[in-house]
Amino acid sequence: MELLKRLSELISPAGREDQVREFLVNQFESLDLKVEQDDSGNVIAYKKIDRNPIVLSAHMDEIGIIVKYIDEDGFIRIVPLGGYLPEYLLSKDVLIYGREIIEGSVHREFLEEWDDESRKLKFKNLFVQTELSKDELDKILYPGAVGGVKQNAKIGKSYISGKALDDRIGLYVLIELAKDLPDNIVLMGSTEEEVSHYGKGAANAVWKLEPKLFIAVDVGEANDYPGGEKYIKLSSGPEITVQEIRGIGNVIKRKYLDIIDNTAKREGIPLQYRITIDSATEASNVFYLKGGIPSLAICTPIRYIHTFNEYANIKDIENTIRLLKALINTL
- At 122-168, the pLDDT tens digits run 999 999 999 999 999 999 999 999 999 999 999 999 999 999 999 99
| Domain range summary for the chain, segments of one domain joined by + | 2-62+163-330, 64-149
Q: What is the pLDDT of residue 256?
A: 87
Of the candidates 196, 209, 189, 287, the one whose C-alpha atom is nearest the C-alpha of residue 241 is 287
**CATH no. for 64-149:** 2.40.30.40
- Nearest-CA neighbor of 327 among 256, 254, 251? 256
Residue 72: burial class (beta carbons within 10 Å; 0-12, 13-18, 19+)? exposed
Q: Looking at residue 102, what is its pLDDT?
A: 96
Q: Which CATH architecture has domain 2-62+163-330?
A: 3-Layer(aba) Sandwich (3.40)
Is residue 246 over pLDDT 70?
A: no
pLDDT value for 286: 87
pLDDT for 247: 62
The predicted-structure confidence for 178-230, as pLDDT tens digits, reads as follows 999 999 999 999 999 999 866 789 999 999 999 999 999 999 999 999 998 89
For residue 288, the model assigns a pLDDT of: 81
pTM: 0.94
Helices 314-330 and 165-178 pack at an angle, to 10 degrees, of 50
Q: What is the pLDDT of residues 270-326, one digit of tens each?
A: 999 988 877 888 988 888 888 888 888 999 999 999 999 999 999 999 999 999 999
